[in-house]
Structures are given as structure tokens and as C-alpha cells.
Amino acid sequence: MTRFTVNGRPADVDAPPDKPLLWVLREDLGLVGTKYGCGIAACGACTVLVDGQAVRSCVTPVSEVAGKRVSTIEGLAEEGPQAAVAQAVQRAWIEAQVPQCGYCQPGFITAATALLAQNRAPTEAEIEAALTNLCRCGTYPAMRVALRRAVELTQKGQG
């Protein structure tokens, strides 16, 4: 039994300790917003926050998050110290109409939220270093617009 919190709620999971957090979220907890893309931490579609840090849940054994706070796309803008930043990021993402197929977007939005929650004025280089997720549709140009807007909204304290 592994105990942790997901989006502010306690979770008790009866899964093998080496089962990746990604599959615990999707199969045991029914939280399917976090996506499987590669299974080797290369694409970032599975990005979640663990105690506020962006981690790739496909290579994170569930035992590693025992006692920790996990935030997924379902709760990112609802609960936790990053919620206001996540609201700003999501608003900017909608304004810039970023998604195409949308599959990689929860991972990007989560990674962007983690960055902006820790650094309200990231440089272009800091953004590029933090957002190493992969998108096959090629939404990067719209994402750049959204990221600039999200920084603006975060600095103004608007979600």
C-alpha cells in the first residue's frame, strides 16, 4: 500500500511499488489526463508535479512518491500553491489556441506551470531549458506566444 496525495486528496494505492506513477494514475486512480507517450522519459507527455517539481511519471516508481503531494492536469489549476499560475498558463494556452491534437498538451502545461511557479520572469533560454517535452503536431510557435502571455498574466497576478 502506497499513500500520497493527488490533487489535494489522499490516495491509498495497492500496486506493486515499482509500478510507475503514470500507470497508477491512469489505471488505479482513473486520472487519464496524464498521458503515456514513450515510457522512457523522452517526451514529457506524462509530466506531473511532485511536491511542486515537474517529474516524468512514466519512470517514477509509485513508491518514490509515498507521503508526497502529486498534482496532475486534473487538479493543477484547482488546488495547491501553483493553482493561480496554472490558471494563467491555461488561459494563455486557450487565448493562443495552442493545441492541435492535444495529446501532449497536459504535459507541456504542467511543465510550464512548474517553471512559472518557481520563476516569474524566465528568459527565453530558461523556458527552452525547462520545456523539453515533445509535440508531433508542431504547436511550438503558438506555445511561444502562450508562454509570453502566461508570464505577463502571472506577473500581473491574473489567472
Partner 1 sequence: MARSLTRRLFLVGSALVGGALVVGGGLAWRRLDGAARHRPATGPGETALTPWFKLTPDNRLVVFVPRQDMGQGILSMLAQIVAEELDFDWARVTAEQAGIHPAYANTIVLADGSPPALRGMMENVAKLIGVQMTGGSTSVRDAWGAMRHAAAAARAVLVEAAAARWQLPASDLAIERGIVRHAASGRAAPLAEFATDAAARALPGSPTPKPPAAWRLLGTSPLRLDIPDKVRGVARFGIDVRPQDTTDTTGGLLYAAVRHIPLVRGELQDVRWPGGKPPPAVLHEVRGRDWLAVIAKSWWEAERALGQAELVAGGASATTVSSARLRAQYRAVLDGEDDPKKLPDLGRPIRRVFNAYGDPDRALAAAAEKARFSADYAVPFLAHVPMEPLNCTARIREGKVDVWVGNQAPTIVQWLAAGVCDVPAEAVTVHTPWLGGGFGRRFDLEVIRQALACAKVTDGRPVQLIWSRREDIQHDAYRPMVAARMTATFDAAGQIALWQHEMVGPSVSKSVMGRMNPMLAGDYPPDVTNAEGAMHLPYRFAHFRCRHAQVDLPVPTGYWRSVGNGYNAFFVETFIDELAQAMKRDPYLLRRELLAEAPRHRAVLEAAVSAARWNAPLPGMGWGRGLALAESFKSIVAMVVDVEVIDQKVHVRRVVSAVDCGRALDPGNVRAQIAGGAIMGLTAALKDAITLEEGRVVQSNLHDYPLMTLAECPHFETVIVNSGAALGGVGEIGVPPAAPALGNAIFAATGKRLREMPFRLT
Interface positions with partner 1 (CB under 8 A): 15-16, 19-20, 23, 27, 30, 32-40, 42-43, 45, 72-74, 76-77, 90, 93-94, 97-106, 109, 127-129, 131-144
| Cβ distance to partner 1 smaller for residue 18 or 121 | 18
Cell triple for residue 107? 504535459
- 8 Å CB contact between 89 and 113: yes
**Residue 98 or residue 117: which is nearer to partner 1 going by CB?**
98
Q: How far is the CB of 121 from partner 1 (least distance, A)?
A: 18
CB 87 within 8 A of CB 159: yes
Least distance (Å) from partner 1 to the CB of residue 92? 9
- In the complex, the smallest distance separating the C-beta of residue 65 from partner 1, rounded to whole angstroms, is 16
Output b/e per residue, 48-59; b: 16+ Cβ within 10 A: bbbeeebbbbbb
Distance separating the N- and C-terminal Cα atoms of the chain: 37
Cα 141 to Cα 1, 62, 123, 125, distances in angstroms: 44, 35, 16, 15
Q: How far is the CB of 98 from partner 1 (least distance, A)?
A: 7
If the CB atoms of residues 74 and 117 are measured against partner 1, the closer one turns out to be 74
